Amino acid sequence: MAVLGACASWSLITAAARDGRPEGVLLAVLAVAAGYAAGRICGALLPVVAPSAAALAGAALTVAVPHLVPGPRITAPLGHAGATAALLALSAGAACCGAWAARTAVVRVALRLLAVGIAVAAAAIGSAVGCVACAVVLVCSLAAGRMPRGAGIAGLGAATGVVAGLGWTVVSAWAPDGLAAALEGRLTAHRVQLWRDALELLRADVVFGAGPGRFGALSPTAAGTPVPDGRPHSALWQQAAEQGVVGVVLLGAAFGWVLYALWRSPRPTPVVLTAGVALTALAAIAVVGNALSFTAVSVGAGLLAGLATSRPLADDGALSARAARVPSGAAGP
C-alpha cells in the first residue's frame, strides 16, 4: 500500500507542478489495488476455483471484446495488440496456477489443457505475441516444480531489467549501430521516434517530467499520428516523460514489490513462480507496448498477484487441526 500510495501521490504532485491530468494514473493504481485485494480474498477461499475462473474470464473477455475498450482500433504494432497479448498471458498464468494448486491429477491436466487452449485462441485471433507469451508461461510453469524459489524470482527480475535496458538502448546515442537498427526494425520507426520524444521531455525536466497526460500534446510524433492516443506506447518511457526519474523509480519499485511479495508468499513455489513468469511477461510487453493503459490488464495483474500471495484458509484449518491433536506439553517431532 505504501508503494501504490507513493505512485498516486507523485502523480498528483507532478500534475500540480505541470498542470497535468493524473486521472489515468490514479485509475490504474485503483485497478491494481482492487484486483490485488480481490485476489487475496478469492485465493484464500477458493485456491483452485478462483484462478480457474480468472483464466476463463480473461480468455472470454479477450475473445468477446478483442479491442478491450470502445473507440477506434489502433492496430499492431501499437495499441490494442499489446493489451490483448498481456491479458492472454495473465489468463494462461492463472490457469497454470490453478493446476499447481489442484490436488487431483484430472483437474491439473484439465487446467493445463485450458492454458493450451488459451494459447491456441491467441493464435486464432491473430495475436502472435500472445501465443508466444502463453507458450512461455506454460513451459516455465511445467519447469517451476524443479526450480528454487529464490533463483527463479531473481531470474525474473533480471529478465525484466534486460528488457528495460534494451528499451533504453534503442534511443541512446552510444548503442552499436547494428543492434540499434535491429531493434528499431522489430519495434518500428514510429514507436522508436515516440520514445525519442519521451527522452527529450525527460531531459527538459528530469525530476517532475512534463506532467501526467501531457505527452500527446508535447510530442510532435504523437501529434502527427493518424489516430493519436497521446501515449509513447511504453510504460517505462511514459513514466519517464510525464513523471520524471522519480516516476520511473516508483514504477520499478512497484514491480520489485510484486517480486518480493511472491518470494515471501506462503503458496507453493510452483504457484509463485508461475505467477511470476506471467507477470514478467506482462512487464516485458508493457516496456515495449501500451498494455498498462487498459484497465482490464491492470486489474488482471493485481488479481494474479493476489492469488499467488494469498494464504488459503484450508491450510490454516489443517494447521489448527494438527495442533489440536498434539497433547499439551508433548514434545515436538
Task: Supply the pTM of this predicted model.
Answer: 0.89
Q: Which of 270, 280, 300, 278 lies closest to 31, judged by CA?
A: 300
Distance between CA atoms of residues 188 and 191, nearest Å: 6
Q: Which of 118, 150, 100, 133 lies closest to 308, judged by CA?
A: 100
- Inform me whether the pLDDT recorded for 71 exceeds 60: no
115, three cell numbers: 492454458
Mean pLDDT along residues 63-67:
67
- Inform me whether the pLDDT recorded for 224 exceeds 60: yes
- Inform me whether the pLDDT recorded for 233 exceeds 80: yes
Any idea which residue has 507496448 for its cell?
A: 289
Encoded amino acid at 167, one letter: G
Q: Which of 124, 160, 123, 156 lies closest to 141, judged by CA?
A: 156
Residue 213 three-state SS: coil
Label residue 63 by pLDDT band (50, 70, 90). confident
The radius of gyration of the chain's CA atoms, rounded to the nearest angstrom, is 21
Greatest Cα-to-Cα distance within the chain, rounded to the nearest angstrom: 77
Any idea which residue has 521516434 for its cell?
A: 193
How high is the pLDDT of residue 9?
95
Q: Dump pLDDT digits (tens) for 264-296.
A: 999 999 999 999 999 999 999 999 888 888 889
- Inform me whether the pLDDT recorded for 180 exceeds 80: no
User: CB–CB of 266/306 below 8 Å?
Assistant: no
Alpha helices in the chain (DSSP H): 2-18, 23-45, 49-64, 80-101, 105-124, 128-143, 149-171, 177-187, 189-204, 215-218, 220-223, 235-263, 269-287, 295-309, 313-325
In the chain, where are the structural domains located? 2-310
Encoded amino acid at 157, one letter: G
Distance between CA atoms of residues 289 and 300, nearest Å: 17
Q: What is the mean pLDDT of the chain?
A: 86
Gap between the terminal Cα atoms of the chain: 39
Name which residue leads in pLDDT, 297 or 167.
297
Eight-class DSSP state of 127: -
Residue 288: phi and psi, rounded to 5, are -115, 15
CA angle 85, 91, 97 (to 5 degrees): 135
Residue 114 three-state SS: helix
Mean pLDDT along residues 73-89:
68
